[in-house]
Amino acid sequence: MATKSVLAEVREITLAIELVELGARLQLLEAETSLSRDRLIKLYKELKGVSPPKGMLPFSTDWFMTWQPNIHSSLFHGIYRFMADNDKNQPTIQAIVKSYRLYLEHAALYGDEPVLSLTRAWTLVRYFESGMLQTNACTRCGGRFVAHAYELRAGYVCGLCQPPSRAGKTRKAALPHGAGERAPRIAA
């Protein structure tokens, strides 16, 4: 019996380490592990060399609706849905971690900076689970994009097919002439 509790604690610590290494905030660690707050703070300090950041977690669905965060959130959510649907026995947090790692690989593959933090990705999944968010299909490309729940769907055009007029202007201006002439990539 004692070995089961030791193994369970080792799994909890391993999960906490993985989450911290991916950039999880303390509130996420507390919600997803059974380790004490003090133990999580010590673990965070040991791994990162600094105290965990203070402050509230993101609490508004509006962040996910802006142009670039919407594209990245939609990409992550598509990966997450695939992972969760194809392994229904894994805990939600494991599907989130696997999906987030794939999201980071995708961003690195195309030279994009990841916009979505692990904490925002976790929050996004929670918003979907609570019915606050849904996906809408773009009428042009057919891709599925994050949208507010109960939002009108007729004629929806995504931010990739119809980017806002100022989309990408700041990054493009910071690059040498002609270097920013590519569209962001997303899997449909």
Over residues 60-78, the mean pLDDT reads 95
Instruction: Give the pLDDT score at 1.
Output: 52
Q: What are the residues facing 171 on neighbouring strands?
A: none
Q: Is the pLDDT of residue 132 over 70?
A: yes
pTM: 0.84
Q: Which residues are annotated as a binding site for Zn(2+)?
A: 138, 141, 158, 161
Over residues 145-167, the mean pLDDT reads 88
Over residues 138-146, the mean pLDDT reads 95
Closest CA to 137 of 78, 84, 184: 78
Instruction: Give the pLDDT score at 14.
Output: 96
State what percent of residues in the chain have pLDDT above 70: 87
Instruction: Spell out a b/e string for 124-162, using b for 16 or more CB atoms within 10 Å of the CB, else e.
Output: bbbbbeeeebbbbebeeeebbbbbeeeeeeeebebbbee
Instruction: Give the pLDDT score at 58.
Output: 72
Instruction: Give the pLDDT score at 165.
Output: 85
What value does the mean pLDDT of the chain take?
88
Question: Which of 89-98, 106-115, 152-161 is least confident?
Answer: 152-161
How would you class 87 by CB atoms within 10 Å of its CB: exposed for 0-12, middle for 13-18, buried for 19 or more?
A: exposed
Instruction: Give the pLDDT score at 180.
Output: 47
Q: Which residues are annotated as a binding site?
A: 138, 141, 158, 161
How would you class 103 by CB atoms within 10 Å of its CB: exposed for 0-12, middle for 13-18, buried for 19 or more?
A: buried
Q: How far is CA 111 from CA 9, 35, 75, 90, in A?
A: 38, 36, 15, 30
Q: Is the pLDDT of residue 178 over 50?
A: no
Over residues 109-137, the mean pLDDT reads 95
Instruction: Give the pLDDT score at 182.
Output: 47
Over residues 75-100, the mean pLDDT reads 95
Q: Is the pLDDT of residue 173 over 90?
A: no
